[in-house]
Structure 1
């Protein structure tokens, strides 16, 4: 599985988000290169939404192409007022939350979300 991320963010958190997103992307891809958590998803595409008005989360799974496309809403005020290390953790929490919801709703038989979550927390 390969992880890719981007964002729809307010200008004033753009640089902080970019740094957090890049570090998280690097760590997650290193983890995914060494371990397999599912054979049902080849690509995990995540857009983080950090705007004052909030937004709507979205889950779009394309089983034929094995792409899981997520839109993760992050609390703007919480992100803006946090230190860089906490900002990374906030992004990670948002990702884990939506992945857990997806795994339950989609009833994926071969996605070890709990091991993935455990390993994600360990790498940070």
Structure 2
């Protein structure tokens, strides 16, 4: 298969976003590469490739960085297949899609909603 038929994806995971004024960084994370057939690009396919590197929990948020932009103004959320296809269309000529993994906050669903635990 031709390299142009594959979407190179660099996953950034295990870290978190930190804001410093108008700057944003993703710190303490790791990176891993995957290659997705452009004909198969979809949200389940992207998550499947991410699962090759990481145990993905429900509610995980995926953001991709629009080429030429910075983290503070260029992140786009991957919410569905259409967003994934748009990302694939934008990343051209052997470019790499940078996808940042943001875990959803953990809530204990065994507790009634009005009595959340107090963190002290």
Q: Report TM bin, short chain.
A: under 0.3
What is the TM-score with the length of structure 1 in the denominator?
0.26
- Higher fraction of helix: 1
- Of structures 1 and 2, the one scoring higher in RCO (CA 8 A, sep 6+) is 2
Which structure has the larger Rg? 2
Kindly indicate which of the two structures has a greater share of residues assigned to strand. Answer: 2
